[in-house]
Chains A and B, each alone.
Chain A
Amino acid sequence: MNAIEVHDLSKSYGKVRALSGISLEVENGEIFGLIGPDGAGKTTLFRILTTLLLADEGSASVNGLDVKKDYAAIRRQIGYMPGRFSLYQDLSVEENLEFFATVFGTTVEENYDVIKDIYSQIEPFKERRAGALSGGMKQKLALSCALVHKPSVLFLDEPTTGVDAVSRKDFWNMLARIKASGVTVFVSTPYMDEASLCDRVALIMHGKIIDSGTPAGIVAKYPYTLLSAKGTPMYPLLKYLRGKEGVINCFSFGAEHHLAIDSSVTDARKILSDMTEAGFKDCDVHRISPGIEDCFMNLAGENVRK
C-alpha cells in the first residue's frame, strides 16, 4: 500500500481551476517532492490530502484511508506544517509544543526521541515567545510541533520558503533523518535545486503534473543538447539567441542563458562565433548537463505549446 495515492483529482475555485486531473503515488518511507512555481496548485493539493478541502472530482487516499470519508482517522495519523508560520506567537516555544502534543493525545516526554534532533536546537530558547524567534527557529519549532505525535506521513507545505540558505540546508538534513526513522515525507517547494534532495519528485504547473519520477530519471529524459551562454549585454543576447536557427528554447538562468539546441543544425562553436560577430562582448558558450529546472522550463514550454 502506498502512503499517498491520488487519482484524477480536480479542484476549482469559482472559475479558477487550481488542480486539473492530478494523479500521483507516494511510496511508504520516501521523501516525495512536489515542485512547481507559486500558484501551481501545491497548497490546494496539500489541503485536500490533509482533509482540509474537498476535491471536486477524483479520489485521494492517505495510508489507504479516503480523504473525504475517513477524514477523522487521517487527522490522527498525519503531521502537517502549513506554508505560513502558524503557531501561537504569544505562547512560548515550550507551550506551543506542549499544546500540540496534548491536542494530538500525547505528551512531549512520551515522544521526545522523535523530535529530539530538531527540538534540542531550540530548547535553550524554550521560554521565549514564538513570535520572537528567528525565521529558522520558527521553522524548527513548527516542524517539532508537526512531528510531536509521531505521524506516519508528514506534510510540509513550502517549508523552506523565506528561510536563508544555511537553514535550508539544515532543514533538508533534518528531513533525511526523519525519513530514516520511517516517516513518509511529502514536501512541496518552489526551489528547483531542492529537487535532487528528494527520492522522487513531481513537477506541477497550472494544476497539472507535467512529469514525475526520480530526479535523475527526469533529468535523463531531457531530449536536447544543452548549452550555457554568457555575453554582454545580457538581455539583447537572450533575444538574439531565441531568434537563431537550431535554438529550440532559451531561458535566462541568473548570470547566464541556458539554450537547448538541435545538435544536427548547430553547435556551441558556431553559436559562439555568431555571437561575437553580432557584436556581443565577453562571450562564452559551453555544453552543460541539464538540471531539474531546465527540464521544468522545457516541459512547461511544451505544455503551453500544447
Chain B
Amino acid sequence: MKEFLAFVKKEFRHILRDKRTMLIVLIMPIVQMILFGYAVRTEIEHARVDVVGDLTDPAVRKIVDRIDNNRYLDINEILPSVSMIPSRFEKNAADVVVCFGQDFGPELKKTGKGSVKIIGDGSDPNSAQMIVNYVTGVIRSEQTEISAALSGESSSGFSPSIQLMYNPAMKSSYNFVPGVMGLIMMIICSMMTSVSIVREKETGTMELLLVSPVKPIWIIISKALPYLIVSTINFITILLLSRYMMGVPIRGSLLLLSGVAVLFVFTSLSLGLLISIVASTQKSALLLSGMGLMMPTVLLSGIIFPCENMPGILQALSHLIPAKWFIIMVKKIMIQGAGFPYIIKEFSILAGMTAFLLTVSVKKFRIRL
C-alpha cells in the first residue's frame, strides 16, 4: 500500500510539474465548449435578405414586412434589378434574395397566382438550405392568409404546427455538449495515460519499475488515478458551462450521468492502456491515440455527422466506437431526462466493451521488457 501511495505521489508530481500540459488539459474543455458554442454553431440568426421587386405594391410590401419581422431574417437591401444578384453574393453582402414577379400584386388579385423566386447562396449548402426554408416558411404562411382572404373562408386546408419536444429552439449546443464531453474524456484518459506509460518505456524508467517488486497492476492503477481526477474536473467544468453558459438542461439524474461518465472513463483508460502496450515511443502513442481514436470518434460517433446518414459499412463501424454509446446515453439523460431503464442497452454495450478492453490490456501488459 505504501508502495502504491509512493507511485501515486510520483504521478501527481509529474503532472503538476508539467504546468503547460496541465494548463492545456484543464483549459481544453473550456475552449472547446466556447468554440462549439459560439463559433461553430449551425443555427441561423439574422440572415440577410435582399429583395427585387416593386415595394410600392402593397402585396409585396406585406410579405417584405413579414420577412423583416421574422427573428431569423433581416431585410437587407432592395435591389433594382435581378442582374445585381451575383455580385451581391460574391461580395458576401446578402445570404438570400427574394424576387417578386412584375405586377405581383395585381396579377395575384386578377389570376390568383403570383410568382416569387427565392435565390439562395449555395456555396455553403447547409446554411443555404436552412435560410431558404425559413423564407419559404414565411411566404407560405402569407400565402395561406391570402388564399383564405381570396376564397372568403376563415380557413381552408390545414397547416401542421411543429414542435421539437426536447429542443424547441433547435439549439446545436444540445448536440455538441455530449459530444465534447465524450471527446474530452477520451483525449484525457486515453492519450494522456498512454503517453505517460510510454514515456517511462522511452526514458528507461520502466526497466527499473519492472525490476522492482511492485506488481504491474499497481503501476497501471497509479498511472490512471491522476487522470481520473483530471477528467472529473473536466466533467464538472463541462457540465457547469453547458448549464449556465449554453443553457443546456440537465433533466435526468446527475448521479446516473456521473455513473455513465465513470464507465466511459474506464473505457478510455483501457484504450489508453492498450495503446501504451502497442506503442514504444511517445510519438507513436500520440499518433495512435490521435489517428486511431480521435479521428474515428469525431467522425463516426455522431458528434458532427449523424450516424443515420452514413453508408452501411460506416454505420456498422460506428457501432464499434465507444464514444458513440456514451454520447447517446448522455443525450438521453441530460436532454430527455431518461432514467436507467431507457439506457440499459447502451450501458450494457459500453460495459461489455470496457470489460473486454480492460481484460485484454491488463493481460497483455508485460511483466518483462
User: A interface vs B, CB < 8 Å?
Assistant: 47, 50-54, 71-72, 75-76, 78, 80, 82, 84-91, 95, 98-100, 102-105, 145
Contact = CB atoms under 8 A, between A and B. Distances in A.
Interface residues of B, number: 25
Given A53-B369, A72-B213, A80 B3 contact: no
Contacts of B5: 102
B203 A86 contact: yes
Given A102-B2, A105-B3, A88 B10 contact: yes
Nearest to A146: B208
A7 to B, nearest CB: 20
Nearest to B16: A90
25 contacts: A52-B207, A52-B210, A52-B368, A52-B369, A53-B368, A72-B213, A75-B212, A82-B204, A82-B207, A84-B203, A86-B207, A88-B14, A88-B205, A90-B13, A90-B17, A90-B18, A91-B13, A91-B14, A95-B13, A100-B212, A103-B212, A103-B214, A105-B2, A105-B213, A145-B208
Nearest to B17: A90
B6 interface: yes
Contact of B7 (A51, A82, A87, A103): A103
A132 to B, nearest CB: 13
Nearest to A129: B17
B211 interface: yes
Given A53-B368, A87-B205, A99 B213 contact: no
Contacts of B204: 82, 84-86
Contacts of B13: 90-91, 95
Interface string B170-199: 000000000000000000000000000000
Given A87-B205, A102-B3, A105-B3, A50 B211 contact: yes
Nearest to A50: B211
B209 interface: yes
A219 B2 CA distance: 51
A46 to B, nearest CB: 10
B208 to A, nearest CB: 6
Interface string B1-28: 0110111011001100110000000000
Nearest to A72: B213
Contacts, number: 75
Nearest to A80: B211
A90 B22 CA distance: 14
Contacts of B10: 88, 91, 95, 99
Contacts of A80: 207-208, 211
Contacts of A90: 13-14, 17-18
A51 B368 contact: yes
B145 to A, nearest CB: 72
A100 B3 CA distance: 9
A145 B18 CA distance: 23
A78 B3 contact: no
A75 B211 contact: yes
A72 B368 CA distance: 11
Nearest to A85: B204
When A and B form their complex, which 6 residue pairs have the shortest distance between CB atoms, in order from nearest? A86-B204, A102-B6, A52-B369, A84-B204, A103-B212, A76-B213
Contacts of B14: 88, 90-91
A87 B204 CA distance: 8
A60 B195 CA distance: 34
B16 to A, nearest CB: 10
Contacts of A99: 6, 9-10
A145 B211 CA distance: 13
